[in-house]
Chain A
Amino acid sequence: MSGGYTPQLLCRLVLANGRRVVLKAAAASTDAPGQMDWISGRIDWATVLRAEIRAYRVLPMLAAGQPEILADFEEAGWVALLLEDLSNAARIASWTGATVDLVACDLAAMHAVTYQTSPPPGLNGSLLMEPFFDRIAARGRKLGNLPSAWDTPATWARLNEACRVGVAAMEAGFTNVPYGVIPNRLDRVVNGRTPQREYRAELRHDRTGLV
């Protein structure tokens, strides 16, 4: 199997009972043991996979939105996770109104489940909040890998202004913001239709060409 943005190993296996499963595995790093430093890129993917396994284990309330977890183990310096094969599940081939609505509803439901609950033990980490705008402003007119269309005096001036406003917005935006989402709006039915019904109707239309 291929895909994703990580060098972790992904294999589709058929078990003795005929069930198809996915094996995700990573070898412990010798260069950066135990590290998950996303800034420098020094990442031990075995540690990352351990964190993923822990996340599945400590968030059972979100199981409906997770693949089924079948087993995990460590052997000879490798960390491995055996999980449900979703190759027969539908993918988001394009963001239609129905698919956007379906994910919007389920994402809100996922957030609602965690409303007013404490972080489970073992779920560490916090959102990367660095002085992005200070660094951008300090670099001056360095393009790096930004689009070449940005390399104009007018755009650099706009970027300077954006840095000034951006610092304040970031500070205000993450201070005293209610975490929550109200669960009781999640069974919302619009004109007798739910996002799930809309999605199924779209699938039928795609398959048959009929509305």
Chain B
Amino acid sequence: MDVRSDNLFVRDSHMVLIDWANPLWCSVTRESVYWALGVEAEGGEPAAQAHARYVAYAQPIPAHAIRGALARQAGYFVDRLQAATLSNRLTAYFLTMLPPTVRWFAQALELPAPPAM
């Protein structure tokens, strides 16, 4: 699901998530990584740090699962931006998500740091 701030409310000190338009029964790692990337993209703490908070409330997630989720997100964003077939609004959103994604991806896979964006 799209767990990001514009879909989140806080009611009685608990989160409420709206826009369940495309829910999938899939990897919780992918979902938690995606949320953490959004935290950094929206001006919060580094994504890896935000994700560590999630892991503190959950079962430890294997490093290869986190690397896989990061690779999937990085590949998805770069592929779509390079293909240049997105709407202007989605392009802007993907460009916001790209820096934290490729930064954490490079760090997790021990690749050279990406260029400044």
Q: Which of A94, A99, A136, A172 contacts B78 (CB 8 A)?
A: A136
Task: Kindly state the interface size class of chain A when it binds its partner.
Answer: 35 or more
A38 to B8, CA, bound (A): 23
Question: Are the C-beta atoms of B26 and A89 separated by less than 8 Å?
Answer: no
Residue pair A181, B58 in contact (C-beta under 8 Å): yes
Asked if A149 and B115 make an inter-chain contact with CB atoms under 8 angstroms apart, the answer reads: yes
Residues of A within 8 A of B84 (CB): 144-145
Q: Are B26 and A127 in contact (CB under 8 A)?
A: yes
Q: Would you call A162 and B74 a contact (CB within 8 A)?
A: yes
How far does the alpha carbon of A3 sit from the alpha carbon of B93 in the complex, in Å? 13
The digit string for B26-54, where 1 denotes a CB below 8 A from any CB of A, is: 11111110010001001111000010011
Q: With A94-B44, A181-B28 in contact, is A162–B105 under 8 Å at CB?
A: yes
Contact with B along A115-140 (1 / 0, CB 8 A): 00001100101111110110110010
| Residue interface mask A163-175, B partner, CB < 8 A = 1 | 0011101111110
Q: Given A133-B75, A165-B109, A166-B75, are A103 and B15 also a contact pair (CB < 8 Å)?
A: yes
Contact A105 B10 (CB under 8 A): no
Provide the residues of chain A in CB contact with B44, threshold 8 Å: 94-96, 100
Tell me which of B58, B65, B93, B116 contacts A5 (CB under 8 A).
Answer: B93
Question: How far apart are the CA atoms of A34 and B39 in the complex, in Å?
Answer: 34
Q: In the complex the two chains form, is A173's CB within 8 Å of B72's CB? A: yes
Q: How many contacts between A and B, using CB within 8 angstroms?
A: 252
Q: How far is the CA of A172 from the CA of B98 in the complex (A)?
A: 22
Binary interface profile of A, 139-156, with partner B (CB < 8 Å = 1, else 0)?
Answer: 100111111011010110
Report B-chain residues with C-beta under 8 Å of the C-beta of A130: 76, 79
Over the window 85-96 of chain B, the binary record of Cβ atoms lying under 8 Å from chain A Cβ atoms (1 yes, 0 no) is 111011101110
Chain B minimum-CB-distance residue to A50: B21
* Cα A170 to Cα B65 with chains together (Å): 8
List residues of chain A with CB within 8 A of the CB of B9.
67, 86, 89-91
- B72→A129 contact, CB < 8 A: yes
B32 pairs with A127, CB closer than 8 A: no
Interface residues of A (CB under 8 A from B): 3-6, 36, 38, 41, 48-49, 51-52, 55-56, 59, 64-67, 86, 89-92, 94-97, 99-112, 114, 119-120, 123, 125-130, 132-133, 135-136, 139, 142-147, 149-150, 152, 154-155, 158-159, 161-162, 165-167, 169-174, 177-182, 185-186, 188, 196, 199-200
A-B pairs with beta carbons under 8 Å apart, 28 shown: A48-B22, A55-B23, A65-B15, A91-B9, A102-B10, A103-B8, A103-B35, A104-B56, A105-B57, A132-B72, A133-B71, A133-B75, A145-B84, A145-B86, A145-B91, A147-B115, A147-B117, A150-B117, A155-B114, A158-B114, A167-B71, A169-B68, A174-B68, A174-B72, A177-B29, A177-B68, A181-B59, A185-B56
